[in-house]
Structures are given as C-alpha cells and as structure tokens.
Amino acid sequence: MDVYKWATKLGPLVPGEVLLDAFELARDIRSLDMRASPYDVSGLGLEAVRIEEPAGKARYAAEQRGFSERSNALRARILADLAHARRAADAGL
C-alpha cells in the first residue's frame, strides 16, 4: 500500500499506468487481508484463506511473496520515472 501512497503523492511525475498498477497491487493486498481475516467474506465473492491451517498459511505466504515482488518492480519503475524527471529538470526542459 505504501507504493500506491507514494505514487499518488508524486502526482504527475508518475505515469498513469504506474499509478494504476500501484492501485491494483494495493487492492490485491487488501483483498488478501480480508480473505485471511476471521470474518465471512463469501458474500463479497471472496474465498477465505484459512491461515490457521498449514495449506492456508502457505498460500498466504506465497501471495505475500508475490506482492513483495510486484512492489519491488513498481518501486523500480517509480525511481526510474523520478530519475527521468530529475534529468529533465536539470536540462531545463
């Protein structure tokens, strides 16, 4: 979720595609959090992740690793966009 927060704070320095990818990541993270909660989310069309069971815990951990990889890729894209903006500013563009 921090990636999305910073993508929105950086505003026009971040391309819309990156902002959308950051939003989708934040949404997916929140969805997993809801599915792993003790609440019944089946009415929302979500399948529970039973973290109290070994298979559920493994699934949760695997999805978290995937989020970490996606976050790292988005951070790299944002840093590249900031570096590009800095070069443009230094060049007076």
Chain segment 34-80, per-residue pLDDT in tens: 999 998 998 999 999 999 999 999 999 999 999 999 999 999 999 99
How does pLDDT run across 13-36, given as a tens digit for each residue? 999 999 999 999 999 999 999 999
Please determine, for residue 1, whether its predicted confidence score (pLDDT) is greater than 80.
no
What is the C-alpha separation between 59 and 66, in angstroms, rounded? Answer: 11
Q: How far is CA 38 from the centre of its chain?
A: 23
Provide the token pair at 57.
């815990």
What is the C-alpha separation between 15 and 18, in angstroms, rounded? Answer: 5
Q: How far is CA 71 from the centre of its chain?
A: 5
Per domain, the residue ranges of the chain are 2-82
> How many residues does this entry show for the chain?
93
